[in-house]
Amino acid sequence: MRRKRQNNNTGKRLEYYLIYSVLFLIMCWVMFHYFREVGASFVWKKDGFNQHFRALSYYSDWLQNIVKNLIYKHRLIIPMWSASIGYGSDIISTLHYYVIGDPLALFSVFVPNKYMVDFYDLLILLRMYLAGMAFAGYCFYMKNKNKIAVLTGSFIYVFCGYTIMFGLHHPYFLNPMIYLPLLLIGVEKIFKKESAIFFSIMVFISCTSNFYFFYIIVLVTILYVIFRIFMYYRKEQWKEAIRMLVRMGSYAVLGVCMSAFILIPVMHLFLGGSRTSDGYQYDLLYDWSYYKKLPTALLTMSNPGNLLTLGYASIVIIGIVLLFLTRKKYGAVKFAFLVMSAFMLFPFIGRVFNGFSYAANRWTFAYGMLLAYIVVLMWQELCQITKGKALILCFTLIVYWAVLYKIRLESSMKSEAMLTLWLAVGITLLAIVFSMDKMKKWSVAFQVLVFVCVFSNIGLNGYTYFSNKTYVKEKHLKGNSANTSFEKKKHSKENIVNKAYVKKERLRKSEEEIDTVIKQNVKDKDFYRYSASMDAIVRNFTLQSGLHSTSYFWSLDNSRIVQYLKEIDINFNNDHRYFNWDQRTALEAIAGVKYYVNCVQRSGEVPYGYIPLKNQKNKNKYIIYKNQNYLPFGYTYDSYISKKSFDKMQPYEKQNAVLSAAVLEKNLSDYKKTDIRSDGKQINYILSCSDGIQQKGKMFIVKKKHSQITLSFSGMKNTETYLLFKNINVKNLASKKEKVDKEGIAKLILTSKDEKNTIRKNKLIYYTARNKNYCGRHDFLFNFGYGESAKKTITIYFTRPGTYSFDDISVYCQPMDQYNQQINALKENTLQNVSFKTNKISGNIALNKKKILCLSIPYSTGWTAYVDGKKTEILPANTMFMALPLSEGNHSIVLKYCTPGLKAGLVISLVGLILCIILSRYEKKFTI
């Protein structure tokens, strides 16, 4: 009998999943058919294009190389470091956030590059599909047997605003939607004193897949356990509850231990990274506009801000009302709903779920699961609704409709929300009709009708969002020989799919990309980097091309690089995103930059000593310049300066200092220590303000946008000219409606003019402490380039009203007379026969005296150096690079790399795996 019952249940489950699969495909067509019509992919033009798609494509190649080595060389060779990730980074810990550790991404090993965009799209749909399957699995485990109810809840969970917005923008955001229901099944198994191995396995998968969402899942699971304890245990059962918690905690630790092989390396990079929110200011409450949009956001794709997108079917309102009309039942569920709803109201909770960084509501996938499950729980209540409950429900819906009618929001979003509410009213009326005695035999028909209404509601939300047309705004800065004026904004309507997502054709063809152009024109076998102007850079493209650039855009980074960029006041505004060296000649050379790429419209704006390559292809878009003073991968210093002395210098002095001596954090008694004097000159200027600016000492009160201050001075010929902002602070920013700006973004446009009236432009995007991207920066140094003619003026345009204060604004000129001599001195002895192999760099060098060898890759504890076969300490040099003190004579240099923390993580994972196997066999004996 038991076997027959199990077979019957299995058959019913298979029938359910078949129906779910068919309806899932139909919904996908309803929501996403416009992508196919216009030839668009699911690759978001921002992070999707620059990070997720690049990472997946590279991961596929990476896995394929490992497999090929296993098959043909019979060796397990795992590349752990790549010179093509920024200045050189760890592969495993950098790309873990995107692909490495994700079980589904492993299938990319079978996918050729030309089909990668299709695989990328398929993975997103697969993740959504599996999320619905996992939700249904949780419902069935919790004894919710009504298949139509579970089907409805699954679609509410999968096709919500979180999925449509975050899932398509960041594919791995969908993974926690799969893991959470399965992890909660594991929790329930422990509550019911069943095997806890499944719980450990889900902890392991969640932790391995993505450490950030694992953190969120842990917080949600803790809340879930607290709610369930109130349901399972009475006061006199507290000892049993403690034993259950100890067991659950032990198996959770076991799962984390099994994931240590990837968790420890990632934590090593994360804890030592530069991304921080120190000094970030947040309020006790969100802005009023956030709360005003919440009623509409519940039912549409409207985004109130702070990464909150809900967009549920309106039946969730019916479920919530019925939940609280049901007496003496579901107390924990009611409490969970109230608590998690309150979480959305306070920025502090958003910070907690975001690792105590800025307030972000990426945790709402769990809220979506709760609301979907409430609908499943209340399904039977809806089928048997009483007239009293129906009247209360109708009244609630009408009040909700009135609230939406009153608030002033986007008409399209408000209309959509009202329409979905009418669907809820229709469901309620249907419930009243079918609850009559004569109609009870038609209960299944009623449930099907409700599902059709919900299905239509969900399809309407998706179709309305993707077919919506939004305004695209452009603003350009125009310059001429006399002045600089601002062009009015241009408005054009564009469909959201065309605006936000990349066409598949572009992803399959890359003839116009900068790396492709470089490969066509540069035939250089030596190690080199290229730099480029901001408008020429395609971020992270080097990951697949194999070239080496100065740009970086990944969530986790080497903190030493950012530390150096801050020390020399490079103009960048995100710790994890940097582009180039602002055309500073000395810094380009030290970083091993051999080529500079500019867009045609900016031709001529290159660092000192660069000349255009001859006979270039694709000259209609890019121009490639070669550095005549290129420094190779390994160059040598005769002397060094201490880090303390270096830190006391001005930023423009620091960049000149690294041309003369290595900056070391450790004293070397056997090597020459020196002091550096700058040959640059600070220039006096006369400051004048336009109308709309009131000056009070070093503070400028800007009352009109595009007001300006001008610095007039007599510059120097044949120099690089710099402008330094010391301790800039911006307050009282005003928005278009002259209200206080909550985002805290100020944009300053900077232009210089020389004796020939040639204009060079620069800009500063300044984030105040109110902005989530704030990284504590207040000092910025701007390069207006090398010029044979002397600069005469620098004009600063304030694009927004506000109060701008500076400790100092100074102009500085750096002569280039000694530059060639300094470069030649560094190139006197260089590392020869440099070879880059998997996790290994080697070369040899001949010295006529002891020197300090500087290697232009970022310092990392993952590197081990061997000089003439002997292990040698690697020193941090110039803050971000590596150095080896060498004696006179010929030396063989070998560098070997291993991901920091990987070996320790593998040992812990192996121990955890062995314990898991033992417990799976003898679990009952060890159960407390």
Position 752 scores a pLDDT of: 94
Q: 634-672 burial by CB neighbour count: b if 16+ within 10 A, else e?
A: bbbbbbbbbbebbeebbbbbbbbbbbbbbbbeeebeebe
Lowest mean pLDDT among 231-235, 376-380, 809-813, 831-835: 231-235
pLDDT digits (tens, 9 = 90+) for 766-809: 988 877 778 888 999 999 999 999 999 999 999 889 999 999 99
Position 384 scores a pLDDT of: 85
The answer to whether 772 and 276 have CB atoms below 8 angstroms apart is no
- Give the residue among 908, 884, 928 at the shortest CA–CA distance from 208: 908
Strands (E), 856-926: 863-867, 870-872, 875-877, 881-886, 889-897
pLDDT tier at 488, thresholds 50, 70, 90 = very low
| DSSP code, position 673 | E
> Per-residue DSSP letters for 189-258?
HHHTT--SHHHHHHHHHHHHH-HHHHHHHHHHHHHHHHHHHHHH--GGGHHHHHHHHHHHHHHHHHHHHH
| DSSP code, position 48 | I
Mean pLDDT of 273-291: 71
Q: 306-332 burial by CB neighbour count: b if 16+ within 10 A, else e?
A: bbbbbbbbbbbbbbbbbbebeeeebee
Position 435 scores a pLDDT of: 66
Q: What percent of the chain has pLDDT over 90?
A: 58
> Per-residue DSSP letters for 358-379?
S---TTHHHHHHHHHHHHHHTH
Task: Give 11 or 151, the one with higher predicted confidence.
Answer: 151
The answer to whether 619 and 603 have CB atoms below 8 angstroms apart is no
Lowest mean pLDDT among 329-343, 612-626, 846-860, 898-912: 612-626
pLDDT tier at 530, thresholds 50, 70, 90 = very high
The answer to whether 278 and 564 have CB atoms below 8 angstroms apart is no
How far apart (Å, rounded) are the C-alpha atoms in residues 262 and 206? 12
pLDDT tier at 155, thresholds 50, 70, 90 = very high
pLDDT digits (tens, 9 = 90+) for 109-119: 999 988 999 99
Task: Give 463 or 366, the one with higher predicted confidence.
Answer: 366
How many helices (H) and strands (E) are present in the chain, helices listed first?
Answer: 32, 39
SS3 content of the chain, % helix, strand, coil (to 5): 45, 20, 30
Residues with Cβ within 8 Å of 603's Cβ and at least 6 positions away in sequence, in order, are 623
Position 271 scores a pLDDT of: 83
Lowest mean pLDDT among 86-90, 296-300, 564-568: 296-300
Angle at 264 between CA 360 and CA 218, to 5 degrees: 40
Position 922 scores a pLDDT of: 78
CB atoms within 10 A of CB 19: 13
**Using CA of residue 584, residue 588, residue 590, residue 594, what is the dihedral sign?**
negative
| DSSP code, position 164 | I
Position 604 scores a pLDDT of: 75
CB atoms within 10 A of CB 743: 14
Mean pLDDT of 325-331: 86
Tell me the backbone φ, ψ of residue 662, rounded to 5 degrees: -75, 140
pLDDT digits (tens, 9 = 90+) for 613-647: 988 877 678 899 999 999 999 999 999 999 999 99
SS3 of 67, please?
A: helix
How far apart (Å, rounded) are the C-alpha atoms in residues 571 and 550? 14
Q: 217-229 burial by CB neighbour count: b if 16+ within 10 A, else e?
A: bbebbeebbebbb
Lowest mean pLDDT among 444-448, 669-673, 738-742: 738-742
What's the whole-model pTM score?
0.91
How far apart (Å, rounded) are the C-alpha atoms in residues 55 and 40? 19
Highest mean pLDDT among 271-285, 311-325, 890-904: 890-904
How far apart (Å, rounded) are the C-alpha atoms in residues 45 and 503? 9
Residues with Cβ within 8 Å of 633's Cβ and at least 6 positions away in sequence, in order, are 526, 527, 592, 831, 834, 843, 855, 856, 857
Residues with Cβ within 8 Å of 851's Cβ and at least 6 positions away in sequence, in order, are 636, 637, 638, 829, 886
H-state helical runs in 495-606 = 496-500, 504-508, 514-521, 542-545, 559-567, 585-590
Q: Which two tokens stand for residue 417?
A: 């929300």
The answer to whether 628 and 647 have CB atoms below 8 angstroms apart is no
Residue 321 has pLDDT above 60, yes or no: yes
- Give the residue among 41, 289, 362, 316 at the shortest CA–CA distance from 152: 316
Highest mean pLDDT among 43-57, 496-510, 672-686: 43-57
Angle at 502 between CA 497 and CA 507, to 5 degrees: 155
Residue 712 has pLDDT above 50, yes or no: yes
Task: Give 284 or 375, the one with higher predicted confidence.
Answer: 375
Position 7 scores a pLDDT of: 57
pLDDT tier at 266, thresholds 50, 70, 90 = very high
Q: Which two tokens stand for residue 282?
A: 């947040």
The type of residue at 796 is I
CB atoms within 10 A of CB 155: 25
- Which residue bears the tokens 């997502």? 501
The answer to whether 870 and 649 have CB atoms below 8 angstroms apart is no
| Average pLDDT of the chain to the nearest whole number | 87
Position 472 scores a pLDDT of: 43
| 412 to 92, 266, 302, 497: CA distances (angstroms) | 44, 43, 10, 17
Residue 237 has pLDDT above 80, yes or no: no
pLDDT digits (tens, 9 = 90+) for 9-48: 677 788 999 999 999 999 999 999 888 888 889 999 888 8
β-bridge partners, 805: 699, 729
pLDDT digits (tens, 9 = 90+) for 717-747: 999 999 999 999 998 887 554 444 556 888 9
pLDDT tier at 491, thresholds 50, 70, 90 = very low
Position 683 scores a pLDDT of: 94
**Cα 738 off chain centre by:** 32
pLDDT digits (tens, 9 = 90+) for 582-608: 999 999 999 999 999 998 877 778 999
Q: Which two tokens stand for residue 445?
A: 């028909």
Strands (E), 666-777: 672-673, 681-683, 686-689, 693-696, 699-702, 707-712, 719-726, 729-731, 745-754, 759-767
Strands (E), 340-463: none
| 202 to 199, 206, 251, 576: CA distances (angstroms) | 5, 6, 10, 30
**Cα 288 off chain centre by:** 27
Strand pairing report for 639-642 and 662-664: parallel
pLDDT tier at 678, thresholds 50, 70, 90 = confident
How far apart (Å, rounded) are the C-alpha atoms in residues 591 and 530? 10
How far apart (Å, rounded) are the C-alpha atoms in residues 311 and 165? 10
Position 771 scores a pLDDT of: 79
Instruction: Give the end-to-end CA distance of the chain in Å, rounded to a whole number.
Output: 33
| 121 to 40, 118, 279: CA distances (angstroms) | 10, 5, 39
Residue 223 has pLDDT above 60, yes or no: yes
Q: What percent of the chain has pLDDT over 70?
A: 91
Burial of 480 (0-12, 13-18, 19+ CB in 10 A): exposed
